[in-house]
Amino acid sequence: MQINLSELFSSDGKEKTYTQNIEMPRFQAPDGEFEIVEKEPVRLTIRHTGKRKLEISGEIRLSLEIPCDRCLTPVKVDFDLDVDSSVDMNLSEEERAEALDEQPYISGNYLDVDQLVRNELLLNLPMKVLCR
């Protein structure tokens, strides 16, 4: 699901809260693909702080089924993630990448909610998952 961000640029301080469903059934991680066994709609609040700069905050709640690193038994791992990000929409995607402030979930004036979830999960995956 994509959110059109251009509607927020009409005035400084404009804020809008979005509730979007996670559409992806599985999460592709560098070391495997994991099924999303539970998920709640993502709640995001996006605020235009002026000069095409946005603050994004929100909550992501979901559970993945990840194999135990010891015995490979599926283990339900809960994620309760808080999103807190700033985006300067004046910069191109290349300029954001050069500044090490790359947001792969922003393309043009659109925010891809599933890509945001992927990004946050990648940053928060546990090093090891054990069933006991």
Q: Residue 20 and residue 4: Cα distance in Å, rounded?
A: 12
Strand partners, 89: none
pLDDT at 97: 66
Low-confidence ranges of the chain (pLDDT < 50): none
pLDDT at 126: 94
- In this prediction the pTM is 0.86
Domains of the chain, by residue range, sit at 2-124
pLDDT at 46: 96
Q: Which residue has the tokens 């990000």?
A: 85
pLDDT at 100: 55
Length of the chain: 132
Q: Over the stretch 21-55, which tens digit does the pLDDT of each residue have?
A: 999 999 999 889 999 999 999 999 999 998 889 99
pLDDT at 113: 96
